[in-house]
Amino acid sequence: MALRGGPSRRMQGNALGGILRDLDRRTRPTGRGGGKIDPAPPVEGPRGPRGARGPAGPAGALPGAATVLITGEDGRARWDYPEPLAATPVLTAVAVDPDPDGGDPVTVTVEGVDEAHAVLRVWWLRPRPASGVVEPAGPGVRVHVVAMTAPE
């Protein structure tokens, strides 16, 4: 047997039912307009409409460096910065899975960082049999790294 009315009618005395009933009333179109909404006129800034966009200028120099590293036998990669940085940088590192169809993802951890170099290690996210730990990824995994320091 079908029930008449919406959930707001079936929930008499319930606060949620009152909210649903109110929302239902507010969203229903009224009058003959059929609920059509006129699009808002384009907004102009305090100086008038915007002009055409000009050519892009040169990118500003950011305090830091970026590179792509390749892991060694133990899954580690060491990066000596092209020139020492002014302060200890914040690193962003992303390991690229050498076999994306293999089913085992990789992750990268930062083992050490200072103003002159960083040491990263890549791990397979698969447990070793009977040990319950992850294993190092091994050689040949690419790691995209960006080192940034605070602007002076």
pTM of the model: 0.55
Rounded Cα–Cα distance for residues 15 and 119 (Å): 58
Backbone angles phi, psi at 116, to 5 degrees: -110, -30
Residue 51 falls within a domain, yes or no? no
Domain holding 80: CATH number? 2.60.40.2080
DSSP string, 18-68: HHHHHHHHHHS--GGGTT--PPPPPP-BTTBS--------PPPPPSEEEEE
Residue 10 to residue 51: CA distance in whole angstroms? 56
What six digits make up the tokens of 67? Answer: 């590179």
In a domain, 10, yes or no: no
- Residue 14 lies inside a defined structural domain of this protein: no
Q: How many CB atoms lie within 10 A of CB 145?
A: 20
**pLDDT one-digit tens code per residue, 28-39:** 766 665 556 666
How many domains, the chain? Answer: 1
Whether 36 maps to a domain, the answer reads: no
Q: What is the pLDDT of residues 22-79, one digit of tens each?
A: 777 777 766 665 556 666 776 666 777 777 888 887 766 667 789 999 999 999 999 9
| Domain with 97 in it | 64-148
125-136 pLDDT per residue, tens: 766 566 656 788
